[in-house]
Amino acid sequence: MTDHPTHRPRRLRTSPAMRRLVAETSVDPRQLVLPLFVAEGLTEPRSISSMPGVVQHTRETARAAVREAASLGLGGVMLFGVPEHKDALGSGALDSDGILNVAIADARDEVGDDLLVMSDLCLDEFTDHGHCGVLDDAGRVDNDATLEVYARMGVAQAEAGAHLVGPSGMMDGQVAVVRAALDAARHTDVAILAYAAKYASAFYGPFREAVDSSLQGDRRTYQQDPANRREALREALLDVQEGADIVMVKPALGYLDLLPLIRDHVTVPVAAYQVSGEYAMVEAAAERGWIDRERAIGESLTSIRRAGADIVLSYWAAEVARQA
């Protein structure tokens, strides 16, 4: 007679109701942030070929997307501006009538404080060379000169109505200068979501189309090397020391090991960005019938939450919330 096993973990997997009861990780709408691209001069949304289902919004359709995000109970929206004109200094980022700042104002006008309005604080969408900062005479990104622009950009976004600003350029000291500028301008309640560990990743490819990137060269001198792990913790700890209210890892799936590492060393919330390439891979494979799209979306988001992310930025945020 075969001895029967004493322990049967399968008992807790017998039905959907049982699995819901004992699930250790959830993905709730309040934990999700929807990135939105708002383009200057459009009269109707423009499809992004490498990101099926995602568009460059007009100001009006962006307002509608923000309203829906609030009605779905999402944690927030992260706004990116796509200007018609760019220059070497990214001056459109500072213009109160520039596309990102007016999109922030539009969003706040729609939802007030019912939804968190977040804004990308970086120059790459606004520079004609596509880098995240201003260049020196040798064509290199000048860290300290860029910080001066970031400080002004943070204040401009706060004055437009942003609840949180997201310094994403990976300049040394960016959080400290943005915090000091916000406080000096009496925007002490505006929070900073710091892109603390942002890697020089191949998974940003579709995003370049989404923002009409003009990038020349690459960003390896300021974004992190994918080979490095301890450096990510150092960056996160520095950002917290400089005043970050939330720290973020970007991309998410290829860097899941960083989430528990950082989560164990900081007391602020930890976010992760499920980037354009992660989105595009699932959509492309699903379109070919190679994977179950809905299950893949749910599994990928759950893995990011399970690894330690309190907040996830995802292009599927609204879709997932509709099904919650």
What residue segments make up the domains of the chain, in order of their start?
A: 26-323
User: Which residues of the chain, if any, have pLDDT below 50?
Assistant: none
Q: What is the pTM of this model?
A: 0.95
Tell me if the domain spanning 26-323 has CATH number 3.50.50.60: no
Catalytic residues: 198, 250
CB atoms within 10 A of CB 201: 19
* pLDDT score for 216: 77
Of the candidates 235, 231, 253, which has an alpha carbon nearest to the alpha carbon of residue 196?
235
Please state, in angstroms and rounded to a whole number, the distance separating the CA atoms of residues 157 and 99. Answer: 11
Please state, in angstroms and rounded to a whole number, the distance separating the CA atoms of residues 58 and 53. Answer: 15
* pLDDT score for 1: 56
Contact by Cβ (8 Å): 42, 84: no
Cβ-based neighbours of 7, under 8 Å, separated by 6 or more: none
CB atoms within 10 A of CB 132: 25
* pLDDT score for 62: 98
Alpha helices in 72-122 (DSSP H): 99-111
Please state, in angstroms and rounded to a whole number, the distance separating the CA atoms of residues 85 and 251. Answer: 28
Nearest-10 crossing angle of helices 174-184, 230-242: 20
* pLDDT score for 172: 96
Residue with tokens 């710091």: 194
